[in-house]
Structure 1
Amino acid sequence: MTNDAVQPLDRIQSIREELDRLARQIADFGGVRPSADKRRALRTLAKGLLWQRTVIASYLDSSDFVDPATNLMLFIYAGATDGQAGTLSAGACCEAAGVPRTTGLRWIGILEQKGLVKSTTDPKDKRRTTVQITQEGRAVMDRCMTAIDDAPTAGISY
């Protein structure tokens, strides 16, 4: 295959992936999004979960109990405002996740590849990176927090 033939195939694959992503997003809540009040409550729940994870890690050897991806998503989701993504510094995200900046930036990159967050380098200061949750990331976290809020101890039996 020539390069000219490969480019349209790559474009078709890219369009298919975007359509798949949009279909998943529309399916989240059957097209119904949480109300502003419900989303505020879900963000408060996310803040509480992040705090609980921080407390647990402080009593245990935190290096064995750090989950940067979950902590980052909780922090970024909690920092979002109604109707839009809050812009947070990568440094604050890394600190909240309880990991060194290099580890946090690596995980932010992974979350970005999955379409859950978007990072931007400040054009005036290349050392500064900001992070925002994407619509897809917000939808995933809305579903997750709703499931926790609706049944916080479901599935746990002794």
Structure 2
Amino acid sequence: MGEAKQVGEDFRYDIAQDSAGLPARVAIFADRPRMREEIAEDLTGAGFRTVDGGEIAALLDGPITLLGDVVMVDCPVLDGRSLASLARLDMRIARSGAQLIVVTSLDALDDIFAVLDQSRPQILVEPSRAERVVAVGRTLANVSSARVREMSEEDRMALLRLSQQVDGIAQELDRISLADAPASQRLSDHKREFRDSGEPLTGGHSAGPRSAYPPLPDPRMVRQMLAARQARARFFDGELFADPAWDMLLDLTAAHAEHQRVSVTSLCIAAGVPATTALRWVKQMVESGIFERIADRSDKRRAFIALSERSVEAMARYFAEVEMPLAQAA
């Protein structure tokens, strides 16, 4: 099952690939012993060495020792103690240069996203066993690529598209054994729970008139476009038309005009792809400056996603340019 070591006295970070070419090591934290065993079994079978980190509380109660390139935390249910543990781990991971993968549920996604604001983790929403293994491999591949050369914007977008294809393979491998519907099929049941029409956004997100560029279109028209795009999945294979980046841009454009704040869960719904895939796109769009992560001033446990100022301008100019064809089509 891999190495069954517990966390030690001092925080340290060991490079997974040493001079002997040993396989990468993954530290596993989970409150459920059976889950730690299952993850370790799958990763060991894929050629990784594993370290049993113990329960999530170990991240809070004692010194943290990371024994690998990757730390995987299984946290489907959150309470105050586990949130504090993750916050501490997030800080340590950011300082160490290790990579963090967090496995969680759809219900806990917004809290997980809000608390992990430093380490740039990979978040998996109710993944299959194959998806967990793929996530570790992808994370290590990304690290290796970054060490060889600085990835260009084109390279990173190509990697995201490749990751989507890998996800599709993993889902197909586990399709027969899944007892419950995947989270991506249940996203629509939660769709309006995660909209917040509270206080207007401030800073670069005011929906007030701008003199430098055209106004945004009527949000009802934008939502009609989004609904029409999503309707295609009822008649054709949704993967034929999957374009999560554009669907999220449309959703955030409408929300900006409506003075609505958008949670990461809601944005995953708009993307029309599995939540784990959508989260990687959100991460890339934030890193590219297309989206911005906005902390909730009244509740630090929450965070929202919004268009950056330059993206608001770009969408306004786009709709101004296509306004005539849209009007003719209507």
- Aligned counterparts, 1:39-118, within 5 A: 39-41=216-218, 43-81=219-257, 86-118=260-292
Q: Which amino acid aligns with 2:233?
A: A
Q: Classify the secondary structure of the residue corresponding to 2:326.
A: coil
Match of 1:34 among 199, 203, 214: 214
Q: Which amino acid aligns with 1:111?
A: M
C-alpha distance after superposition, 1:1-37 (max 9, x if no partner) = xxxxxxxxxxxxxxxxxxxxxxxxxxxxxx63224xx
Q: Which amino acid aligns with 1:32?
A: A
Q: Classify the secondary structure of the residue corresponding to 2:292.
A: strand
Q: Which amino acid aligns with 1:103?
A: T
C-alpha distance after superposition, 1:89-137 (max 9, x if no partner) = 1111111111222211111122222222112466743xx5420111111
Between 56-65 and 144-153, the greater mean CA deviation after superposition: 144-153
Change (3 A) 1:139 1:53: same
Q: TM-score, normalised by structure 2?
A: 0.32
> Deviation at 1:72?
0.5
Q: Which amino acid aligns with 1:57?
A: A
Match of 1:130 in 2: 304
More helix by share: 1
Determine which structure has greater relative contact order: mean sequence separation of CA pairs < 8 Å that are 6+ residues apart, divided by chain length: 1
CA RMSD in angstroms comes to 2.5
1-structure distance, mates of 2:227, 2:316: 18
> Deviation at 1:150?
2.2
Structure 1: 5+ residue stretches without partners: 1-30
Match of 2:120 in 1: none
Change (3 A) 1:95 1:147: same
Q: How many residues align?
A: 116
Q: Classify the secondary structure of the residue corresponding to 1:76.
A: helix
2-structure distance, mates of 1:117, 1:110: 9
Match of 2:314 among 137, 140, 146: 140
Q: Which amino acid aligns with 1:34?
A: P
1-structure distance, mates of 2:300, 2:212: 39
CA radius of gyration, larger in: 2
Structure 2: 5+ residue stretches without partners: 1-210
Change (3 A) 1:106 1:121: farther
Query: Is the Cα contact below 8 Å between 1:120 and 1:129 reproduced in 2?
Result: yes
Q: Which amino acid aligns with 2:262?
A: L
Q: Classify the secondary structure of the residue corresponding to 1:142.
A: helix
> Deviation at 1:75?
0.4
1-structure distance, mates of 2:288, 2:224: 25
Change (3 A) 1:151 1:99: same
Match of 2:323 in 1: 149
- Aligned counterparts, 1:10-29, within 5 A: none
> Deviation at 1:74?
0.4
